[in-house]
Amino acid sequence: MLELEHLSKIYADGTRALSDINLFVRQGEIVSLIGGSGCGKTTLLRLIAGLDRASAGAIKLDGEALSGPHPSVGIVFQEPRLLPWLSVFDNIAFGLDHINATERKARVEHALEKIGLSEHAGRWPRDLSGGQQQRVAIARAFVTHPKVLLLDEPFSALDAFTRASLHEHLLGLWEETRPTVVLVTHDVQEAVTLADRAVVMQPKPGRIFDELPLTLSRPRDKTGLPFETSVRRILTALDHSLNTPQQQPQRERDRQAAALWW
């Protein structure tokens, strides 16, 4: 389990990026962080990844406090960040030096098959399309078998068709080892497509406004009423997160959101 306890972040210039974040993510759960600009989604991801330090609070993985980068926590950024001097195969294998060559080869070949790039194993990153490069980045993150995988809007620069294809590849890889996934996204439909729970954040300073379970079965039918209903619920919560004081009781926020939805 990933636990965030009273997590806060204040930058040197006095900017309060995050305030008193409490979040528990179960093993194998996919959670999406969604909210307006300035609500601290990426900052929160960087704290979990150990790329920045919290001003207060604690981050724990299976009870162990995390104070920096951890081998059990992987991350995929908005851009692929592949190493241009390595082939596709070697980019995926980059974090596997600690295992024997036979297992390393098997893992990479399996990942290439899952993302549909087996025939591109020997090519250079520059020879791939943007969507293919991001598939390689996702495969590189999964082959290390992380307990937690952090996704910082990895599909935001892609067209709708490529994004939908990558969603399928991501879920196909996730199904095999079931890591905990925390996804930052601005796309409500993407959140409903991928996540088990949507965490709506409120800005200035960043804090959790609401948490909405997404209990639809997979694969999810984007044309069905349950999917559309979930999208509307998140949109309603987002609208209220930008217009409702944080001090307002959760029960009153829920009542107003339900009234607006219906």
203/36 Cα distance (integer angstroms): 7
Q: Evaluate if pTM is beyond 0.85.
A: yes
Q: Is pLDDT above 60 for 237?
A: yes
Q: Regarding beta strands 56-61 and 64-65, do their DSSP bridges make them parallel or antiparallel, or are they unpaired? A: antiparallel
* Predicted confidence (pLDDT) per residue in 79-138, tens digit: 899 999 999 999 999 989 889 999 999 999 999 999 999 999 999 999 999 999 999 999
- Residue 154 contacts residue 115 (beta carbons within 8 Å): no
* Predicted confidence (pLDDT) per residue in 200-213, tens digit: 999 989 999 999 99
Domain ranges of the chain: 2-261
Token pair belonging to 38: 């300035």
Token pair belonging to 181: 């996934």
- Identify the CATH homologous superfamily for domain 2-261: P-loop containing nucleotide triphosphate hydrolases (3.40.50.300)
